[in-house]
Amino acid sequence: MHHRTLGADLTVSAIGLGCMTMTGGYSGRPDRADMVELLHQAVDLGVTFFDTAEIYGPHANEELVGQALAPHADHITIATKFAQDIDPQTRTPQGRMLGPDQIAGAVEGSLRRLGLGTIDLYYQHRVNPDVPIEEMAGAVKDLVEAGKVRRYGLSEASADTIRRAHAVQPVTAVQSEYNLWWRRPDTDVLPTCAELGIGFVPFSPLGKGFLTGTVDTTTTFAEGDLRAQIPRFAREALQHNLALVDRVKQIAAAKDVTPGQIALAWLMAQHPWIVPIPGTTKAHRLKENLAAADVSLTETELTVLDELSTTIEVHGGRYPDFLEAQTNL
């Protein structure tokens, strides 16, 4: 496995593993023992970068990741996130976001569930619109100085927010959706990361499965599957959006690779400090995704993919309106 560096000093595998769906989110809750085995397989295949969050579960995902990766904690990087106020007894989100005075309590919970003494990379999962980002960054700075956290990250933040936070506590990485059917970070977030020396971690690098070529207008999503609420996965929108993935399939067939590998290779070709974190609950998909690190795209192929992703207008929002309102603040 190749490696890349996020920020000033965080060297990780060129492709990480997003762990969210290992405790639900798409189609029920996978068997815990199977997910522990999958995490072990990821380590064996060279993955050193694992992504979780307090809200996944809630809490259950951090517990799973902490348990499974405990034997490897000395030579891997675990990133987790805070944002929502979650009742520690009922594990229920309270409908409000954390303020700077509450972050210390949140980090203690994450440390306990992950079985760690220090969190390698601690992301603010969403920006709290009611609190200046400088105050949140200052609270994380206190955690860094206390040895609870090594590095600070932001998720779904605007370029201005990134700059303001970085001026208080250096930001190692920004995590946001970025893929062939969501290019908004190109506008100003990626240039800001390049200027400030911040790494970028695309979540949903495969468009929540769309860019693998396995989703079409006949696909039905199970109860509880997040995609059932996402406008761009509605049948009429999909009918239009498939034009993009059909072309990706053609490029993949010509190279004897999969559409998902093309999508991941395109991401990694954008900048050397981009580290995608595709998620999966299946061993064969894990191997397929990691193999994308060895797929090279020609300049012609990159140009074609760029043109496809900017000229084919994607129909439907990437989130329901209430979730989209929490991003890019």
Q: What is the set of active-site residues?
A: 56
Confirm if 164 and 185 have CB atoms less than 8 A apart.
no
Separation between Cα atoms, residue 297 and residue 170, nearest integer Å = 33
DSSP 4-55: EEETTTEEEESS-EE-TTBTBSSSS---HHHHHHHHHHHHHTT--EEE--TT
Residue 172 structure tokens: 């190692």
Query: What DSSP string describes 231-244?
Result: GGGSHHHHHHHHHH
Parallel, antiparallel, or unpaired for β 49-51 and 77-82? Answer: parallel
- Rounded distance between C-alpha atoms, residue 10 and residue 275, angstroms: 11
Of the candidates 200, 238, 204, 194, the one whose C-alpha atom is nearest the C-alpha of residue 219 is: 238
Measured distance between the N- and C-terminal CA atoms of the chain, rounded to whole angstroms = 35
What's the rounded Cα separation, in Å, for the pair 216 and 58?
30
Strands 3-6 and 10-13: antiparallel
Q: Which of 125, 128, 222 is nearest to 177 (CA)?
A: 125
State how far Cα 152 lies from the chain centre. Answer: 15
Return the exposure string of 149-182: e unless at least 16 CB atoms fall within 10 Å of the residue's CB, then b. bbbbbbbbbbbebbebbbebbbbbbbbbbbbbbb
